[in-house]
A = this chain, B = another copy of it.
Amino acid sequence: MTRSYNFCAGPAALPQEVLKKAQEELLDWNAKGLGSVMEMSHRGDEFVAIAEQAEADLRELMTIPAHYKVLFLQGGASMQFAAVPLNLSGKQNEVDYFHTGEWSKKAIAEAKRYAKVNIVASSEAENFSLVPAVSDWRLNPDAAYVHYTPNETIGGLEFHDIPDVGNKPLIADMSSNILSKPMDVSRFGLIYAGAQKNIGPAGLTVVIVDESLLGRALPICPAMLDYKIAADNASMYNTPPTFAWYLAGLVFQWLKAQGGLEAMAIKNQQKSDKLYAAIDYSGFYSNPIALKDRSRMNVPFVLSDAGLDKVFLQEAEQATLFNLKGHRSVGGMRASLYNAVPEAAVDALIDFMQDFEKRYG
């Protein structure tokens, strides 16, 4: 059977090689009769080795400095929306947030439970179609940290440069562009990412945190959200999501075999350049985001006649191009081009779009 293509924004496509390896090992991980990884004690030698290897591979891929802790947690970015202020808003209780789309908005709403939020800059008036210009930023000198969303999964907006926020800890919700290109981790105080886009299956959340930020949690912070407790217990304060952690490790090994993040950056640029070119070249499809701020990971687009959306999606499915429907909050289409989506998928999508335009445009 021909492999179909999955453009889902998350849970997203996983590398075929990773799924095949997981399938081979599903009943018996190492052929010694220990059973499935799912059945292993998280404190046993076998699983601890799997967990440590995954962390080592992630450190290597992202060149994570030694003074950062890497945590394997649960709850997705939405849980981090609370965990970040609960851990880091501190005594001053003032925090800075960029507002660049739906996910920033959710992070801001949750932070307001625990701290006074200053909006550094917002592109809401421009319908989140651009990254606010540096000249428009209003940083609060008393803020405990500055939070931003490097890639807005729904809007398709990406910061291509890391914001310079002086000596404040910069916190990033990197859920939808982590591992898509090299990033200088030393510029961040904390990075968090739900796994279900570029890391592995849903149900795992990776946090990379400068250890100087540990130990500042508010007394009302649940133990399970306290980064210091997680770090002191090597992410095993309680039972971690072992199978998801193992799968993330297989993805990290796959990424290393692909040439690491430099190689992924080139591929991701090629894939998204091609698709944006096809959209811009047509008179039928369009993308609303400023050219310089377009996401390499999530490409939303609309048809010139929204009445054709349903037919487009139906025919795309018939052509085994799946999950192209835009987020329910914005409509239209969206193609997510994470690491595991091959260039051939983009080529197939462009062919389909051009054919569709000929027939209906």
A interface residue numbers (CB < 8 A to B): 1-4, 6, 8-14, 16, 19-20, 22-23, 26-28, 33-36, 38-44, 74-79, 81-83, 86, 109-110, 113-114, 194, 196, 201-204, 219-220, 222-225, 237-244, 247, 320, 322-323, 328
Contact = CB atoms under 8 A, between A and B. Distances in A.
Given A4-B34, A113-B222, 13 more contacts: A4-B35, A11-B38, A19-B26, A23-B27, A42-B202, A44-B323, A74-B79, A74-B203, A194-B238, A194-B239, A201-B241, A202-B239, A202-B243
A263 B171 CA distance: 52
A74 B240 CA distance: 10
A11 B239 contact: yes
Given A204-B203, A243-B201, A223 B323 contact: no
Given A43-B328, A220-B114, A201 B38 contact: yes
A28 B4 CA distance: 10
Query: Which secondary structure characterizes the binding site on chain A?
Result: loop
Contact of A75 (B12, B34, B36, B224): B224
Nearest to A85: B222
A75 B78 CA distance: 13
Contacts of A76: 74, 224, 238-239
A328 B22 CA distance: 30
A37 to B, nearest CB: 9
B20 A6 contact: no
Contacts of A242: 11, 201-203
A174 B44 CA distance: 24
B36 A14 contact: yes
Residue among A14, A196, A241 with the most chain B CB within 10 A? Answer: A241
